Structure 1
Amino acid sequence: MSFTFLDPGLLVDRELELRLRKTSPGNPAGPWAPAYHFDMVLSLTETKVGNIDLRIGDLPGLVLYGGHIGYTVDRGHRGHRYAARAVRLLLELARRHGMTTLWITCNPDNMASRRTCELAGGEFVEIVDLPTDNDMYLEGEKQKCRYRFRLDG
């Protein structure tokens, strides 16, 4: 089954704009899902402040460990809630792909990312241990917090 990327349209929250940088087709057999890759840009100054990705699908490793959304805010631009605002901007695009639940994961000790998930409307569900063959485990991570975003209501 082939995947069709949608035109994300204008994704903007006041001065924060998400600009599509590229798409990645993924691998239907796993473990990589189709993904949109955006730059977070302050539209008034054209300053790039971070990145955010939206991965589409329900591959088990994605739902349990990797999450549908990943983000980074550049060090000099943290503390302005750009990541939480960017997450909210992507929720409608996820809905347009038929997703009813979206997951974001983060390391348990990453308090800034945990707060981002809460500010964006996520519900903390659990902390899970990563399997020893998971690529994140092999890079030294051991657990992930899982935050659920309900998109169907």
Structure 2
Amino acid sequence: MFEFYDKFNELSNEMIYLKIIQKFEGDEIMIPFYYYDIYEKKSNKKIGKISMRIGDNYHSYFNGHIGYEIDKEFRGNYYSFYASKLVLQVAKEYEMSRIYLTCNESNIASRKIIEALGCNLIEIIDVPKDYFGWYEEMEKQCIYKLIL
């Protein structure tokens, strides 16, 4: 059974704070993860979500270890960068030596955030059909690696 740490239920920095909304222990496809709502500190408004996935399996290479989404009206403020920096401490606590981050090839905003985090592009690929997130006409994925 996967062990979650309550000390990661809330995380914050000067711009944002994260509140846990789900802890998933994992199954035959999905690795364990922490899932958070992201809040802007100055307005106290919920602005998006972020997950930190712990461990590795076949699908995590294509899915990445961090997944974020920022509500449209709050995009362009680097909130996904700040949130990603916060959840990196979770990965480090679980002694992950590296993580993968992925995005669609055309998602220039995410690519910039991922690169600002210090990630290196490994490849741009068509994901295999046996990846759980595959769908018809899926865009090529950029696979990045970050050494922790």
Which structure 2 residue ranges, 5 or more long, are not aligned? none
- For 1:136, what is the secondary structure of its paired residue? coil
Corresponding position of 1:32: 30
Q: Would the aligned equivalents of 2:49 and 2:68 in 1 still touch at CA under 8 Å?
A: yes
Question: In 2, distance between residues paired with 1:130 and 1:145?
Answer: 10
Question: In 2, distance between residues paired with 1:149 and 1:37?
Answer: 20
Q: CA deviation at 1:10?
A: 4.6
Corresponding position of 2:98: 101
**1:70 maps to 2:29:** no
After superposition, the C-alpha distances for 1:25-58 in whole angstroms (9 at most, x for unaligned) are: 111xx21111100111013322011100011111
Q: Would the aligned equivalents of 1:85 and 1:120 in 2 still touch at CA under 8 Å?
A: no
| Matched letter for residue 146 of structure 2 | F
Which structure 1 residue ranges, 5 or more long, are not aligned? none
Which of 126, 129, 136 aligns to 2:133? It is: 136
**1:19 maps to 2:19:** yes
Q: Would the aligned equivalents of 2:9 and 2:20 in 1 still touch at CA under 8 Å?
A: no
Question: In 2, distance between residues paired with 1:9 and 1:137?
Answer: 31
**1:89 maps to 2:113:** no
TM-score after normalising by structure 1: 0.89
- For 1:70, what is the secondary structure of its paired residue? strand
Corresponding position of 2:3: 4
Q: 1:31 to 1:9 in 2, by over 3 A?
A: closer
Q: Would the aligned equivalents of 2:105 and 2:139 in 1 still touch at CA under 8 Å?
A: no
Moved over 6 A (4+): none
Q: Would the aligned equivalents of 1:41 and 1:48 in 2 still touch at CA under 8 Å?
A: yes
TM-score after normalising by structure 2: 0.92
User: Number of matched residues?
Assistant: 147
Q: CA deviation at 1:9?
A: 5.8
Q: CA deviation at 1:140?
A: 3.4
- What is the percentage of aligned positions where both structures have the same residue? 33
Q: 1:10 to 1:132 in 2, by over 3 A?
A: closer
Corresponding position of 1:55: 53
Q: CA deviation at 1:11?
A: 1.8
Let me know the Cα RMSD of the aligned residues. 1.5
| Matched letter for residue 49 of structure 1 | I
